[in-house]
Amino acid sequence: MGRRTPLFDLHVAGGARIVDFGGWDMPVGYGSQIEEHHAVRRDAGMFDVSHMCTVDLRGAGVRPLLLRLLANDVSRLTQPGKALYSCMLRPDGGVIDDLIACFLDERWFRLVVNAGTTDKDLAWIKEHAKQIGVAVVPRRDLAMIAVQGPNARSKASSVLPEACGAQAAALGAFFAAACDEWFVSRTGYTGEDGYEISLPSESAPELWQAMQGAGIAPCGLGARDTLRLEAGMNLYGNDMDETVSPLESGLGWTVVLEGTRDFIGKEALERQRAAGPARKLVGLLLLERGVLRSHQVVSAGAAGDGEVTSGTFSPTLERSIGLARLPASAAGEVQVDIRGKRMPARIVNPPFVRNGRAMIEL
């Protein structure tokens, strides 16, 4: 038996298929994964993401700590509640994890890190935090529910506690608000508008049921994966890990090399940028019937071979899409080995879908 979130019993009662996800017993879906996917693209859906770990960093040295630990630049976070996406790197530029960092005040930042990497992240952060007296507090007492879709915010606002609802309604994109022990951020992992709501574990079942009553569809990790892939968002462990840098993972836009700020991994990335990264992460659109899956071999002609890192059937585009790590010079059309057959695919720039609309030519 794996670890269970405070919503586990509700998932089982709702008919969920439970699978192991990084040591957690999580719902992969409640019925049709494609219908759950469409609910988020067209209306509103919600996900139990309580397996992800909220980490509070407290102390006067918290901003200098994150300036050093993160490849993105937290000096950009000046307004309380503003958040950014960043990689946390090894000295050699390999990605330890990707995370969201939110600035609350000069003595308090909040991180949300991946479930499967929580232990190593905490060890890494603590090692650097103790030198400058920052307290690292994993918040295992909090659950988290992501509510996503074009109607997610309006439907959710009717069931949020009054004080929270008003603050949430005023949030700009990538902003968060803390109200008592609740924490609402206008972020997500689907390419749609919405909130990620963290709250005390004991309050989570009531919110889940209230949101279901407000017409928000429970969705499993299966739909979450097809949604994030359509949105062109990387999954840690699939699309990047400690053996690749953000520059080789389509995440150059999250790295701030300019200026004198010295973060862990900077030197390695500067060298890589100067030499030109050998590999790149691209989007693929399969041109024939079939489904791209991770680890399929991709032949990019004279440029050499690469590998699909994530692949699926896109319910919105009704075509198979994927992310692949290819030699840097790969371009145009490539061949993917799918169950022994070579199938043509086209390199495209993610995202594939944003706010319900196709972003690539089919």
Interacting residues with another protein (CB under 8 A)? 28-29, 32-34, 222, 226, 289-291, 293, 312-313, 315, 339
Min CB(32)–another protein separation in Å: 6
Q: Which residue, 249, 225, 101, 114, is CA-closest to 175?
A: 101
Q: Which residue, 28, 25, 40, is CA-closest to 228?
A: 40
3-class state of residue 329 by DSSP: coil
Give the separation between CA 191 and CA 231, rounded to whole angstroms: 5
Min CB(289)–another protein separation in Å: 6
Instruction: Please answer whether residues 245 and 203 qualify as being in contact, where contact means their C-beta atoms are separated by less than 8 angstroms.
Output: no
Give the separation between CA 309 and CA 337, rounded to whole angstroms: 13
Min CB(34)–another protein separation in Å: 4
**Strands of 90-151, DSSP E:** 95-105, 108-113, 135-138, 142-148
Give the separation between CA 313 and CA 225, rounded to whole angstroms: 10
Q: Which residues pair with 184 in a beta bridge?
A: 177, 197
Min CB(222)–another protein separation in Å: 6
Q: State which residue, 34 or 169, has the beta carbon closest to another protein.
A: 34
Give the separation between CA 188 and CA 196, rounded to whole angstroms: 6
Q: State which residue, 29 or 277, has the beta carbon closest to another protein.
A: 29
Sign of CA dihedral 68, 70, 71, 75: negative
Min CB(296)–another protein separation in Å: 11
Min CB(315)–another protein separation in Å: 7
Q: State which residue, 24 or 109, has the beta carbon closest to another protein.
A: 24
Q: State which residue, 124 or 313, has the beta carbon closest to another protein.
A: 313
Tokens of 69: 């630990």
Min CB(202)–another protein separation in Å: 32
Give the separation between CA 206 and CA 160, rounded to whole angstroms: 11
Give the separation between CA 104 and CA 107, rounded to whole angstroms: 8
Min CB(44)–another protein separation in Å: 20
Tokens of 127: 């090692």
Q: State which residue, 38 or 58, has the beta carbon closest to another protein.
A: 38
Is the preceding peptide bond at 351 cis, omega within 30 degrees of 0? yes
CA dihedral 315, 317, 318, 321 (to 10 degrees): -90
Q: State which residue, 12 or 171, has the beta carbon closest to another protein.
A: 12
Q: State which residue, 324 or 338, has the beta carbon closest to another protein.
A: 338
Q: State which residue, 61 or 315, has the beta carbon closest to another protein.
A: 315
Q: State which residue, 332 or 339, has the beta carbon closest to another protein.
A: 339
Q: Which residue, 152, 120, 135, is CA-closest to 47?
A: 152
Min CB(310)–another protein separation in Å: 13
